[in-house]
Amino acid sequence: MVTGGGTGGHTYPALTAVRTMQSVLGHHGVDLDVLWVGTAEGLEARVAPAEGIAFKTVPTGKLRRSSNPLKMLNTQNMRDLGRVPKGVVEARAIAADYKADVILSTGGYVAVPVGLAARATKTKLVVHEQTVRLGLANRILARSATAVAVSSESTLKLLPEQVAAHAVVTGNPVRPAVFTGDAAKAVSALGMPGFSANLPTVYVTGGAQGSEQINSLIRENLPWLLSVANVVHQCGPNWVEKSRQFAENLPAEPRARYWVDGFVGQELPDVLALASVVVARSGAGTISELTALGKPSVLVPLVPSAGDEQKHNALHLEQAGAAVALVKERANADELRRALAPILTDHGQREAMAQAARVLGKPDAATRLVEVLLAVALGAVLDKGTARGSGL
């Protein structure tokens, strides 16, 4: 059984783990029976059925956090928290009926009722955390989990002793397609008539919906940026016209090195292969892809985010030498330029950052996580520390 979702950061690692486990078991002639339990409103409600995975829903509640505890005592929080007991009852009935060998929780609010149902039905539970610090749902479940899989060695020292005793480092599963990129295909697919092979390429993304904060920083720096680099800019669907209109005022020659659109589709692996430097948010999925591919980056975390996880992720990469983190709530254009300039003009620095990213990366994270799931399901003893992918 799988639970977790709400956002892509929780949903896609779970999906990648399921697909990897199907492949591993299929290699041994064994079928995998999967049931995904999520919410009707979360991303998982679209992804799981579209992928042919059986799906059931349970109610749950979202806790809207605040630095002021009194502000958390609001109508929305009280109403949502009241839904959790109902979710636990429904999840317990599903778990008792399904009789899973193991439940995988990748976090998100729906994981709480399902994880508590695992405890009530004595079903083995593996909690997977994508970020450096455990999210709220996983913190609630970690103490009763059979195993806690984390994405970074740095997380181990942040865990309570009781949780660290059954924690293992797997990394965060990355979509296999990410590793199939061809840089040469990106240029022709995007149609960049002025692309210069003599210049580095900057890939800018604010996530699927885009980020006007990042878009604004890029617009303010675009004339300079195009003098030293090619730029591929995924700006989000709401900002396409504004970004294109700004570019229209630039001279034709540098403008031909600029590609902007709301969304990068199937060309994304090729774009990532082409990118010399990435400017992005610092969500767990982004961090995992950048490190697995060994990409230098300038990270502009969403501040505040839940538990300030994006800030912690960005600082983690910066401390390792793999990124520059602009962690102020409102980074300005000059700060972005000062961060990018030495990376774009110094090939040696780019290579050093790329190597630092690769050291952090775990491209075999999905296999490692599957090994933990199989070990727990089969009652094997887990080695503490870092799981080693065996390519089963």
Ordered by where they begin, the domains of the chain are 2-174+363-386 (3.40.50.2000), 176-360 (3.40.50.2000)
Six token digits for residue 32: 């995998």
The contacts of residue 195 (CB under 8 Å, 6+ apart) are 187, 230, 256, 257
HSE (side-chain half, CA atoms, 13 Å) at 30? 11
How many residues appear in the chain? 392
Q: Is the pTM of this model over 0.95?
A: no
Q: Give the list of residues 6+ apart from residue 209 with CB closer than 8 angstroms, or none.
A: 236, 237, 238
Q: How far apart are CA 164 and CA 142, in angstroms?
A: 9
Find the helix or strand (DSSP H, E) in which 44 lies.
Answer: helix 44-50
User: The tokens of 129 are what?
Assistant: 């955390």
At 284, give phi and psi (nearest 5°): -60, -40
Q: For residue 160, give the amino acid letter.
A: P
Spatial CA neighbour of 116 closest among 135, 89, 83, 134: 89
Per-residue pLDDT of the chain (392 residues; tens, 9 = 90+): 999 988 888 999 999 999 999 999 999 999 999 999 999 999 999 999 999 999 999 998 665 444 555 554 556 655 656 667 889 999 999 999 999 999 999 999 899 999 999 999 999 999 999 998 898 889 999 999 999 999 999 999 999 999 999 999 999 999 999 999 999 999 999 989 899 999 999 999 998 888 999 999 999 999 999 999 999 999 999 999 999 999 999 999 999 999 999 999 999 999 999 999 999 999 999 999 999 999 999 999 987 666 688 999 999 999 999 999 998 878 899 999 999 999 999 999 999 999 999 999 999 999 999 999 999 999 986 766 555 544 45
Q: How far is CA 97 from the centre of its chain?
A: 32
Residue type, 46: R
